[in-house]
Amino acid sequence: MRSYGKSYDYYNAIAQKYDDMYNDKYWENARKHISRIIEKYTGDVKNLHVLDVGAGTGYWALWAVEKGALVTLIEPAENMLQIAVKRLNNYPDKCKFLNTPVEQAPIDQKYDVIFMLGDVLSYVNDPEIVIKKLREFSHQNTLIFGTVDNYYSYLKEVIIYGSWDDYMFLQKHRKIQIGSQYGMFISRAFTQEEIKHFAEKYGMETLEISGLAVFDDVHLNEKYGKYFNNEVEHLLFAFKVL
């Protein structure tokens, strides 16, 4: 199986399959959970400037644009971004597309809301560099929403299915190889304590950290997801820039 040096090379290769790969009950619930949390803190996104980092095929950009937001999409995988361009074809005046890693993106404005909803911090080379960059895109009270891979989920998988070397690598680097039948890449896992540390270190308030899509019912996820932060595969977080 092919191993990709960068996560976006993997996603560039599987772009045409991507939406079908995530078209199941879990991800349907996850998207509902995420949208509830975004709306909980933003209220109405109409006329807000939204930066969608790791925008993929444009699901969340379309979600925001349909609610009246102005969206800039940053996506390093060219084939993924081409799909997003087609998906947002009806909104030429409300979208801007940047085919670049976020670390290299030009800073030409400040944003009201930032999405990192494709496990961006888990997949970039250096999460701290990315957080610093996002602070440059932010003004006071900018809201940041993201997901990451959960360290304790990885730890369980390594203990059950991995080798001693896998375990030691995870312990030392907080990383593990993930992917699908189409290829693998390295992902960085986080605990909720590490997420809170990032927020505090870079001048942000942690509004919420929740286990993503624990239940089939979106209301149960919103109410009780935070009690499963050591069990689930993905963590959902919300920050406010101070």
From 181, 177, 186, 195, select the one nearest 234 (Cα to Cα).
195
Sign of CA pseudo-dihedral 202, 203, 206, 212: negative
Whether residue 197 lies inside any domain: the answer is yes
Strand pairing category for 70-74 and 95-98: parallel
Whether residue 235 lies inside any domain: the answer is yes
Three-state secondary structure call for residue 241? strand
Stretch 5-20: mean pLDDT: 96
Whether residue 2 lies inside any domain: the answer is no
169-188 confidence digits (pLDDT tens): 999 999 999 999 999 999 99
- Cα separation, 199 vs 195, in Å, equals 6
Whether residue 1 lies inside any domain: the answer is no
Q: Which residues contact 240 (CB under 8 A, 6 or more apart)?
A: 41, 141, 142, 143, 144, 204, 205, 207
Please, is 10 exposed, middle or buried when counting C-beta atoms within 10 Å of its C-beta (0-12, 13-18, 19+)? buried
Q: Which residues contact 40 (CB under 8 A, 6 or more apart)?
A: 208, 222
Whether residue 159 lies inside any domain: the answer is yes
Structural domain boundaries, residue 41: 7-241
Whether residue 123 lies inside any domain: the answer is yes
Whether residue 19 lies inside any domain: the answer is yes
Sign of CA pseudo-dihedral 237, 64, 107, 186: positive
Whether residue 146 lies inside any domain: the answer is yes
Q: Which residues contact 132 (CB under 8 A, 6 or more apart)?
A: 202
What is the domain count for the chain? 1
Give me the CATH number covering residue 176.
Answer: 3.40.50.150
Give the pLDDT score at 1.
Answer: 80
Three-state secondary structure call for residue 229? coil
142-165 confidence digits (pLDDT tens): 999 999 999 999 999 999 999 999
Q: Mean of the per-residue pLDDT values for the chain?
A: 96
Identify the band that residue 104 occupies on the pLDDT scale cut at 50, 70 and 90.
very high
For the record, the structure tokens of 119 come out as 């496990």
Return the bridge partners of 146, or none: 116, 237
